[in-house]
Structure 1
Amino acid sequence: MEPDADRPAATRRDAIRYCGAAAGAGLLAGCAGIEPTDGSASTGSGDDGSGAADQGDGSASGDAGTGSYTAELAPVGEVAFDAVPEDVMVYSLLYADLAVALGHGDAVNSLGFDADAGGNTLDAYYAGLDGVAFDREGLAQLNSGSGGVSVDRELLYELDSDLHLADPCLFASFDGWSEADVAEVRDNVAPWFGNVYSRRHSEPPEPCRDEYAYYTLPEIGERVAAAFREEERFAALETVREDLVETIRGDLPPAEERPTVAALIYMDGTYYPSRTDEPGFANAHVRPFDVPDAFAADDVTYETAYDHERLLEVDPDVVLHQYGIASYYDVGAIREELADHPVAGELSAVESDRFYPSGHPVQGPIMNLFQLEMTAKQLFPERFGEWPGYEHGDDYPEIPESEHLFDRDRVAAIVAGDAE
C-alpha cells in the first residue's frame, strides 16, 4: 500500500514528531535510543522482579518555554512532542489501563480486539473505584482476523492518531506487515510508543533485536507517563503499588509452607500452562509471593499442552486460571467440569476447591493492584482474607473494607487528579 498523498493534512499529529523520521531512519531508530549498552536485550532485575533495562528514569525532558518535550521507550528510542497526545491508538489492555490511570482514557480511539470484551475486563476492576471508567463506545477494533491477527494499515490512516501506543515490533510481526510498513505509518501518521515483548521477555522479530530492552510494569508505566506529562500522577499510583507489595511481602509464611502454583488456561480437554517463575510483566501479580512454580521442572513454551493425566502428575496445590475475571473463560463452569471428570477430579486443586479465576497477564497498573490483592487472598487466605466466590462476567467481587489490601479512594483520587 502506497501512502495516500491526497489525505487531508493532519492537525495535532504534526506536533508530535518522531525524531528519526526526517533522516529516513528505519523501524527502530531514534535521536537517542535506549538500547542496552551491550547491544542485546537486558535481563536485569526491577522492583517487581520481572527484569528490566536500566535505561534512565523515564521522565520527560523538554523546554518549558515552548512546551516541547521528549519521552523514551525501547525499541523506538526518543520521541519528541510539542503537545500532549489527545487521540491515541491502543492495541492492548496494558496501554488502555495505563491511559485511564494517567487520566487520559478519553484519548483512546481503538483496541486490538473486541472493545466490549476488553472493556468488560476493565469495567470489572474499575467498578470498585468511584468515578473511574473506560468509555469504549465507538472504539475501533484493530484486529479483524478470525484465526490469526490481521490489522489493516489503512485503518491506522483513518484513525489519524496523535500517537500509536503499541509496540512497532509486534505490528511488524503481523501478517501483511513489514518493517517498511511500520516505518511508513510512523512517518505518515504518528509515532509508535510501546513495548510488549517485556510481557514474557520473549524474542522480538529479528529487525528489532538490537534495539530492544525489557522493562518491568512500573518502568513501562513511567515512560508512558512521560509521554503524557503525567509523571507525578504515575509516581503517586506507583507508591500505592509499592505499599501493597510491602504489605504482601511482610506477611508471607515461610517458604516451605507456601503452595505449589500452576498458571494455565483450560480449553476443550487440554491445559495450556505458563511459567510463573520467569521474568516479564505477565507475572507481576504472582511474582511478589515467591511461590513454587508447579511447572518449574518442565520445558514450558507457548506450544506446550497437557492432558488430564499429565497435569495430575504435576498436581499443583493451587491453579490460577488466566483471563478469569470478566474475560474469556468461565472458570466456575470449568471447575465443575473438572470435578466431574474421572482423572481431573483427582487434582488436589480441584478437590480442595483451590482452582481459581486469575488475572489478565497483559495488565496495566490499576489491573495489577486488584490482581495482586486477588492473588494474595487466593494463595494465603489465612493471612490476607478469604477470596469471595466469583461468577463469570461479574465485577471484581465486593470485599469488606477492612480486608482491602490497598486504598480504593486513594487510587480513584489519583486517577481523577485530585490526590494531594
Structure 2
Amino acid sequence: MRLWSRELWQLAGLAFTGLVVGWLTGAGGWGLALGLGVYLALHLKRLHALHHWLTRHPHDEPPAAKGVWGELFDRLYKYQKGQRLTQQRLRATLKRIQESSEAMSDSVVMLDRRGDLEWWNSAAERMLGLQAAHDRGQHITNLLRDPRFIGYFNARDYREPLTLPSPIDERRILQFQITLYGDDERLLMARDITRLHRLEQMRRDFVANVSHELRTPLTVLSGYLETYRDFLEQSGEERLTSRFARGLAQMQEQTTRMQNLVNDLLLLSRLEIDQRGEDTSPVAVDQLLETVRRDAESLSSGQQKFAVELDSSQRLLGSEQELRSAVSNLVFNAVRYAGEECHITLRWRPWGKGACLEVEDDGEGIDPVHIPRLTERFYRVDKGRSAATGGTGLGLAIVKHVLLRHDAHLEIDSRPGEGALFRCIFPAARLAAANDDHNEAQRA
C-alpha cells in the first residue's frame, strides 16, 4: 500500500507542478497535460528498461528503479532465479535418469500417447535396431512389425509380457513389457532372455527325450510282469504263488504309475512346444461332460455323487481330445482329493461375452496359500496323501497348457472345508452355435 501511495503522491505532485506552470504561463490545461505526460514518460522509460532486460540480458542484475517498478524488477529477478534453479535440478535429475538407463542391459523406450518414439537408451539400439537420426518421432509399430507385437500394443492389456525374436536378429529372444504412465504415455522395456529360452528348450527336450526313452522299457516290464503273474496263477503252487504274488502286484502298480507319469510328461511336452492349437472343430460340450462323468463314476466306485448342469447350448472350438484331457484331470482330482460322499458338479454356462466350464465339489477344500502354485509341475498340497492316490502331479499343469492353447485361462476358488471350484473361462471367439457344424455338414 505504501508503494501505491508513493505513486499517487508522485502523480499528484507532477500534476500540481504542471498546473502551477500552466497558471503562470496562462495555459493551465496544457500545464496539467505536461505534468501527466512527464509521469507517462517515466513509466514508458521503465517499461522499456524491463523489456530490454527480459529480452537481451535476462541473467544479469535487473535495472535500478524505485517504487512499484523497483519492487516489480526484484520479484521478477527472484522468480527467474528460482526457475533457473528448478530447471537445473530437473536437468540434473533427467541426466541421472538417462545415465542410469544407459547403464541398464535392458532396452528402455519412451513413447508418447500416440505411440511415437520419444527417447531410448543404447541397449534399444543394439536389441531393436533403433537409430536416432531416422527413427525419432516414428510410430513403434512401423519399426516392430510383428503381428503379435502389433496386437499386443493395440490390445492395451499389458499384464503379461510378450516373448518375440529380435527384429534385427532372430537368434536373440526378447521379452517385451509395456507400462502405461503419465498422460496415457507408454514405457516399453525389452529384456534379452535368449539364455533362459535355450535352457527352457533344453529342459523340454530333455524331459521329452527321457520320457520317450522310458516308454519302451516300461512297456517291456509291464508285459513280463503280467506274464509272470499269469504263470504263478496257473502253476497251482499256493506257497510259491503267495510268496511272489504280493511283490509282483506292487511291481505292476508302480510300473503302471510310471507309465502314467511318462504319458503325462509326453503330453505336457507336446503342449508346451506347440502353444497354439490349430484344431478348431466344434466340440459338443454336453457329450464331453457326460463321457467324463461316466469315467469319474467308474473311478469313484460309488463313493461320490456326480451331476452335469448345462446352461448353454454353445459349442467349443478346439481339440476334443485335449479338452477331454483337461476336464478329466479336474474331475479326477476332485474324485481323489475332495473326500468320500461329496458332490461333484460339472457345469457349462455363459460367462460375460464368453462361456466357462466349471468343476465344483463340496469336499475338504484347499488352503488359499496353495492356489497360486497349483498349476506348477509336481506341486502337491499334501505330499504324503497325494502320493498315496497315485496322481502324477502334472494334471493341473496339463490343464493350464490346454487352456492356453484354447485362448482360455483357469480360475480357482477354494477354502478349507468349503469345497473347491475350478473355472475354465473361454473367450467368445472360441464359441460356436449348436447348429453351426450341422450347417457346415449340409453345405458340404
Q: Which range, TM-score by smaller chain?
A: under 0.3
Find the structure with the greater CA-based Rg.
Answer: 2
> Which structure has more strand as a fraction of its residues?
2
TM-score (norm 2): 0.24
Structure with bigger RCO (C-alpha 8 Å, 6+ apart): 1
> Which structure has more helix as a fraction of its residues?
2
